[in-house]
Structure 1
Amino acid sequence: MTPFKNLGLNDDLLLGIESLGFKTPTPIQELVIPAALESDSDLIALAHTGTGKTAAFGLPLLQLIDIDRKGVQALILCPTRELCVQVAGDLVNYAAHAHQYKVVAVYGGAPIGDQIRQLKPAPHIVVATPGRLVDLINRGVLKLDSVSRVVLDEADEMLNMGFKESLDTILATVTTEHTTWLFSATMSNEVRHITRNYMSNPRELSSGGRNQTNVNIEHVYYLCHANDRYAALKRVVDATPGIVGLIFCRTKAETREVAEQMIRDGYDSGALHGDLTQEDRDRAMTRFREGNLQLLIATDVAARGIDVSNITHVINYGLPDDPEIYTHRSGRTGRAGRTGVSITIITPKMEERIRQLERQTKANFKRLPIPTGDEVCEKQLFHIVQSIHDIEVQHDVIEPFMAKIYEALNDLTKEELIMRFASVEFNRFLSYYQNAPDINIQPKGGRRDGAGERGRGTSGYSRLFVNIGEMDGVTKKEFIKLLTQKFSIPSAAVGRIDISRSFLHFDIDGAYVDKVRQSLLQITVNKRKVRVDDASDRRSGGGGGDAEGGARRERPRTSSPRGKGDYGKKKW
């Protein structure tokens, strides 16, 4: 690997990146930096997210700035506010021992008046999101007639977000002779349009094949029934102590529901989606970046521009429609030379899509069995043991208390003491996953461990029939609230819920069957008496449950499959 000092960078920039801990350049940096310094040719750089693209264009860009020349000399376009702020901050850090370059970031979601003031006098470098930049151009407060270099960072993402018209406007406004550097993880037709219309004989540099995933990332998938997806997600997370995960959902509603459920289940998690205010988005990102959130559940659009280097796992709560989206998702882990894991949770009908993704992204997907309850407990136990072994003891602080500690624990043997310390946290997982069923897809004709006879849930669970359903305006979410909030049933005692047009079936811990029966019989729905029967006494077709150690497994839906308003509103 070529050292940075052999790439043609000035000593002051070398000192800056050395102080940041940069040792050797990444493949894309090794390709781009000398090419950008040696020639004024347009460049196309294809590289995955997290491979050091900001330094690849930022370092040569800073070196080529004429500190004494007035006017904006370089323009960097980014898809999101978060990336815009990050790139501007990185440039300032790179130049900490160099000239006092003026770098200004302009983006939506912030007061435009403050940004206009920062643009006077004109900075050397402007980092911008397309929408806000067009606004500033239209207001006449930002002149681009002195720009000599334009950088399109994550060009494919900008186009995916609908910025094509804004990019056309901006690039047409830069009328001076200039060099364009385009960086992208994928080469779509839209990106090719930009290269044809706004670049001249560009030189293409690539640290990997087009649309290919990062070689530092392991790709695995888990197969389960649709009703077990949330249970599978929890199993995967619980079997991976120390995970820092980014979980992708397809819609804002699904993102909200999964995040709310995980928070209720005790995970340090947060949501990132389009319905949040910018303040809420910033707060969630700050907590995630600082390690105060273990899991961030996000939509593809909201997660664009996220650059958190310590993400260990990306989890796809279902497959995206486009292989390019998968490439971007998985690229959020395995950054800056680290390894990462991209996990996908799918149902059997989606397995063929995995084969297609393998062909399109050249990634090798490995199917893994969903961890059993015993496997989760074992993983957690040895994580606890390792944590105890590695903990830093503050001898001076704890020494004054040791005499009383010895006295309190004097009746325990060494073996008993070790077991009790390990059990402090382990008992929680053991209690939760005790007798938890295997939720892996079984071969045809096979049966799930823990499944009972028709009309029964998992071991210790009963399956009940209730004569209310979608036509009464009942949803899973509302029914769970009725059981847990009005009847004071623990959420862990509620199992699978299947709602039909005029009735529903649900699994309930046997210890609460009588209480639930009596409580339901005391209410009316739309002036109609509620009737409760054992589902095994009815020809329901509702079958074996999939209880997750008694915990709820299905994410609640906010509306029935036929849409809101199709049936009457329930009144408990």
Structure 2
Amino acid sequence: MSTFSALGINKDYIKSIKELGISTPSEIQEKAIPVLLNTKTDFIGLAQTGTGKTAAFGLPILHHIDDKKDEIQALILSPTRELVQQIKKQLFKFTKYVDTKIFVEAVYGGEKIDRQINNLKRTTHVVVATPGRLIDLIERGEIDIKNIKNLVLDEADEMLSMGFKQDLNRILKYTTSEERNTWLFSATMPEEIQKIIKTYMDPNASRVEINRNSLVNENIRHQFTRTTIKGKTAAIITFLETRQTQRGIIFCRTKAGAQSLNAQLLEEGFSTGALEGDMQQRDREKVMRAFKNESIQYLISTDVSARGIDVRDLNFVIHHQLPEQLEYYTHRSGRTARAGKTGISIAFVLPSEIERIHEIQKELNIKFTEVKN
């Protein structure tokens, strides 16, 4: 077992991460931290959400900051405002016992841009941003990221599938300097990501893969239940009734599907809330808050709306329908069984979808068990 101090982390940081309940490094931390701390290199990390990536890139970034320089030295891009806020919060907690004053700002859409512009006028060493808002600030000339030494692309595949491809390309072009190192983290490696690596990163970039064989967390039990279109809601209700105190997310493919299932479950007396693409940011945050503080027991969501949700202690994920894209299965099921806990990922499938179950098993190297309703 390695320790954080053996990886080269300063003892003041170790004190704060211990307080956060992190005592031994996760696999990605063990493999990434020594490389990112000690070598100036581009880096590619293949790792799922929930594997401890934020500390894997966050601690080395903080170690590299020169607090005597009043300039932005590191930029972290992440797909959603929730993730951006979470990363900022975590970096702030990491620095609790450190003598040097490191200032981190977060910029994202859905909040008044003027407020963010004002915040950036203060000393800022690290910026955590969503790509769209960062581009707005660059275009207004309100942010200077010319001197950054480290650029982190966190959840790169999610950023692309959310339509940030052009923004990412512009940011990567804009920050190319001899000095800059790019650290890319992604759960999957679609072609678009490989293009980015080829175009903007050193061909000798260090690569680290976590659990190459199991792209999906090993603590998840994958199950499916055969049902019919008519009987599906009733089957889901039966499943929920047998798990009275447990919490979970139900994934639907469409906004209409999410709204209709939410209405049906509310009518049956379940405590649910829906997240879907057309919601105002304010309403979205209200539902998320209620789910996090447990005033809602189940969350019903479309794939895109669930980006960046990190709620602890979810017992299960339900697939109201199987997702179209394989990556979505990985992202959906990865919402449960976090931080070493176990969880269930269960799909309610029609007879015509059994073939799809076999494909997912094969592609992701996982095993489904059939559960009779």
Normalised to the residue count of structure 1, the TM-score between the two structures is 0.64
Q: Which amino acid aligns with 1:286?
A: R
Task: Identify the structure with bigger relative contact order (alpha carbons < 8 Å, sequence gap 6+).
Answer: 2
Q: Report the Cα distance in structure 1 between the residues aligned to 2:263 and 2:233, rounded to whole angstroms.
A: 12
Who is 2:187 aligned against?
185
Q: CA deviation at 1:241?
A: 2.7
Q: Report the Cα distance in structure 2 between the residues aligned to 1:253 and 1:341, rounded to whole angstroms.
A: 25
Q: Report the Cα distance in structure 2 between the residues aligned to 1:333 and 1:204, rounded to whole angstroms.
A: 27
The answer to whether 1:214 aligns with 2:223 is no
Q: Which amino acid aligns with 1:338?
A: K
Q: CA deviation at 1:4?
A: 1.9
**Does the CA-based 8 Å contact 1:47-1:53 persist in structure 2?**
yes
Q: CA deviation at 1:257?
A: 0.8
Q: What aligned pairs does 1:24-173 form with structure 2 within 5 A after superposition?
A: 24-98=24-98, 99-173=100-174
Q: CA deviation at 1:210?
A: 6.9
**Does the CA-based 8 Å contact 2:76-2:151 persist in structure 1?**
yes
The answer to whether 1:367 aligns with 2:370 is yes
Runs of 4+ aligned residues of structure 1 deviating over 4 Å after TM superposition are: none
**Does the CA-based 8 Å contact 1:186-1:210 persist in structure 2?**
no
Helix, strand or coil at the partner of 1:44: strand
Q: Report the Cα distance in structure 2 between the residues aligned to 1:345 and 1:142, rounded to whole angstroms.
A: 48
The answer to whether 1:343 aligns with 2:357 is no
Q: Report the Cα distance in structure 2 between the residues aligned to 1:84 and 1:342, rounded to whole angstroms.
A: 27
Q: Which amino acid aligns with 1:136?
A: L
Q: Spell out, residue by residue over 1:109-155, the C-alpha distance to the aligned partner (whole angstroms, 9 max, x if none).
A: 10000000000134100000000000000000001111000000000
**Does the CA-based 8 Å contact 2:42-2:206 persist in structure 1?**
yes
Helix, strand or coil at the partner of 1:233: helix
The answer to whether 1:21 aligns with 2:21 is yes
Question: Unpaired runs of 5+ in structure 1?
Answer: 371-572
Q: CA deviation at 1:196?
A: 0.7
Report the count of equivalent residues.
370
Q: Report the Cα distance in structure 2 between the residues aligned to 1:67 and 1:311, rounded to whole angstroms.
A: 39
Q: CA deviation at 1:211?
A: 7.6
Q: What aligned pairs does 1:156-555 form with structure 2 within 5 A after superposition?
A: 156-176=157-177, 177-200=179-202, 201-209=204-212, 212-370=215-373
Q: Report the Cα distance in structure 2 between the residues aligned to 1:242 and 1:3, rounded to whole angstroms.
A: 37
**Does the CA-based 8 Å contact 1:102-1:123 persist in structure 2?**
yes
Give the % identical residues: 45
Q: CA deviation at 1:367?
A: 0.7
Q: Report the Cα distance in structure 2 between the residues aligned to 1:297 and 1:100, rounded to whole angstroms.
A: 41
**Does the CA-based 8 Å contact 1:50-1:333 persist in structure 2?**
no
Q: CA deviation at 1:175?
A: 2.8
Question: Unpaired runs of 5+ in structure 2?
Answer: none
Q: Report the Cα distance in structure 2 between the residues aligned to 1:10 and 1:314, rounded to whole angstroms.
A: 38
Q: CA deviation at 1:275?
A: 1.6
Q: Which amino acid aligns with 1:204?
A: R
Normalised to the residue count of structure 2, the TM-score between the two structures is 0.97
Which of the two has higher C-alpha Rg?
A: 1
TM-align CA RMSD:
1.1
**Does the CA-based 8 Å contact 1:131-1:166 persist in structure 2?**
yes
Q: Spell out, residue by residue over 1:237-279, the C-alpha distance to the aligned partner (whole angstroms, 9 max, x if none).
A: 1112322101110011111111121112111110111121111
Helix, strand or coil at the partner of 2:188: coil
Q: Which amino acid aligns with 1:81?
A: R
Q: Report the Cα distance in structure 2 between the residues aligned to 1:28 and 1:314, rounded to whole angstroms.
A: 24
Q: Spell out, residue by residue over 1:435-479, the C-alpha distance to the aligned partner (whole angstroms, 9 max, x if none).
A: xxxxxxxxxxxxxxxxxxxxxxxxxxxxxxxxxxxxxxxxxxxxx
Helix, strand or coil at the partner of 1:172: helix
**Does the CA-based 8 Å contact 1:221-1:367 persist in structure 2?**
yes
